Structure 1
Amino acid sequence: MEQVTNKDYGLPPKETLILEEYREQHIVFEKLLRIVKRIASINQAEIHETSLSRFLSVFASFGFKTLGNIDRLIKRDSEDAYQLANTDLDIINSSLGVISLCAVHVLKQGGGMLELTRFLEDLNGASANNKHRAEGLLRVAQNLSFMKK
């Protein structure tokens, strides 16, 4: 059983999670996957499954310390994330919805190109592709209603 410690993700000891328990509950991961499942069902796309546990460090960097924090993010921003992630690809990665959810959070917190690039670097490591992807996210987001408020 893999344990996530405060050292690994900056979580305080009382918020330490055991990933196996987290996976068994499926509650938050299922909610995170609903965004991409919605896109896949509309486009009849195949979903390529990948682990979403790599997002735990990103959520911790956002200051989210509990599953409740992530659950509130999903409830607040999932519709905007769906609009940002909407694509017509035949095969989509299961992390697409979570990436879009995180990008929406960054933008709603007043972030822009630099902050989107940092988020992608936190997630993927340093790469020139992160800036290109951040540009694409920002370009699509600028046409969505949450950016015009």
Structure 2
Amino acid sequence: GVDAVVDGVDAVVDGVVTVVDGVDAVVDGVDTVVDGVDAVVDGVDAVVEGVDAVVDGVDAVVVGVVAVVDGVDSVVDCVDAVVDGVDAVVDSVDAVVDGVDAVVDGVDAVWLTVLMLWSTVLMQWSTVLMLRR
């Protein structure tokens, strides 16, 4: 009887170790997604710097507005295109963040399962210790 309980506890411990390995793999996946988010954010920063440069160009053109109205219109079109690009990148970042949130929720669920399994292991060990007395 006690040996069977010990074998059962050992099997549960092996299962918990397997789950923990799975959690580590999920955490590695989250790290990869976070690295991707960082890369997208770096891209957004580069686009924002481009927008700043275009805005600086618009400021320079505005000084001579009377003579270069056509140039201002062209720069404004360029700014609109860059802003549209920034909006698209922000939408992409939002989608990635939503994905990260979903992965984090999954990791939380796995950790809850691990904690419940450990609770079961502790109860089984408690039973084994009581039976050995």
Calculate the TM-score normalised by the size of structure 2: 0.24
Larger Rg: 2
More strand by share: 1
Calculate the TM-score normalised by the size of structure 1: 0.22
